[in-house]
Amino acid sequence: MKSFEYAAPKTLKEATALLSDSWGKTEILAGGTDLVTSLKQRITQPERVVSLRNIAELRGIEAASSGVQIGAMTTLDEVAGHASLQQHTALVAAARAVTSPQMLSVGTVGGDLCQRPRCWYYRNGFGLLAQKDGKSLVRDGDNRYHAIFGNDGPALFVCPSSLGPALVALDASFTVEGPKGKTRKIAAADFFRAPKSESERETALKPDEILTAVVVPNRSLKSATYEVRHRHGLDWPYVTASVALRLNGGKVADAKIVLGHVAPAPWVAAAAAKALNGSAPTEAQAMKAAEAAVTGAKPLSGNAYKIQMVKAAVKRAILEAAA
């Protein structure tokens, strides 16, 4: 890998002061499960790497009456096992689905949410949008693991975050801190985005900002996450569905259904939620919602198989949440 300056600040103020105001000059190191690989493959070649490992305020889980706050440097293993989070079943299930013990013990919440796409064109040096001579390599190439929703623009990769869909379904919010201690809150649904140029990134973070915490509100919801993956391999899943239901008198008063690994950002399946609202979450109604979940899907040449997987994941997540 290309040599770089390594910094290990002890406070957030010190860390943000070390970041550049433009992408590429500095990178943030959390657990390192994504960045270290990117450095070795020279996908990114920063002048400075800023480690967050010594910043104690970024770790831990705190429960309050309004919600649970999770520090960005909290590990996935801690999320999966913490007593205060067990009521948020969709989030816990998403964390536990990361089946590698190494990833669970080292990977962090912030690292999962900010990891770069796993698209093999991007990982092999063809750029974030995988274009050559103005043409998409993805559309005309091997696109079996790429987007079936939100793929009208140049971004055809899928969001790799395991926790993202569940946090969107649970109406979570993210806290970020920039230079001079300036903080702002971003709704989970607004955090992820599809870039339109190579100079953009896949999140709402600015180059000189750090994701510091995730807040999951305490609401009376039944939730679940269901993944479809290759056996129980350590790779990323093909499709994920996270569901959050508010029940009233045995019927769904409010539903939120969010799909993962099918679009450049977690995909809110509004038609599926509409099909479920006002009805009892029976198997027949779950199937109707599952059929509605693929409304607007536009498969590429090699990934139409994801349509059936979305239906299966949505149906099973609804029934799991209702149970």
Name the architecture of domain 56-217: 2-Layer Sandwich (3.30)
Model confidence over 204-233: pLDDT tens digits? Answer: 999 999 999 999 999 999 999 999 988 666
Nearest Cα to Cα of residue 108 among 57, 44, 38, 32: 32
The confidence band for 262, taking pLDDT boundaries of 50, 70 and 90, is: very high
The amino acid at 58? L
pLDDT of residue 64: 87
Model confidence over 10-22: pLDDT tens digits? Answer: 999 999 999 999 9
Model confidence over 175-208: pLDDT tens digits? Answer: 999 998 999 999 999 999 999 999 999 999 999 9
Given a cut of 70, whether residue 147 has pLDDT beyond it is yes
**pLDDT > 70: what percent of the chain?**
99
The confidence band for 271, taking pLDDT boundaries of 50, 70 and 90, is: very high
* Residue extents of the structural domains in the chain: 56-217, 222-322
pLDDT of residue 231: 66
90 contacts: CB under 8 Å, gap ≥ 6? 166, 169, 170, 223, 224, 225, 242, 243, 244, 321
Given a cut of 80, whether residue 167 has pLDDT beyond it is yes
Helix (H, G, I), strand (E, B) or coil at 75: strand
Given a cut of 70, whether residue 48 has pLDDT beyond it is yes
Do 139 and 156 contact (CB within 8 A), yes or no? yes
Q: Which two tokens stand for residue 225?
A: 């996450």
Do 61 and 71 contact (CB within 8 A), yes or no? yes
What's the fold here for domain 222-322? Enolase-like; domain 1 (3.30.390)
- Measured CA to CA, the distance from residue 149 to residue 270 in angstroms comes to 13
- The verdict on pTM exceeding 0.85 is yes
- Measured CA to CA, the distance from residue 285 to residue 293 in angstroms comes to 12
Quick one: residue 134, left, alpha or beta (phi over 0 = left, psi -120 to 50 = alpha)? left
The confidence band for 130, taking pLDDT boundaries of 50, 70 and 90, is: very high
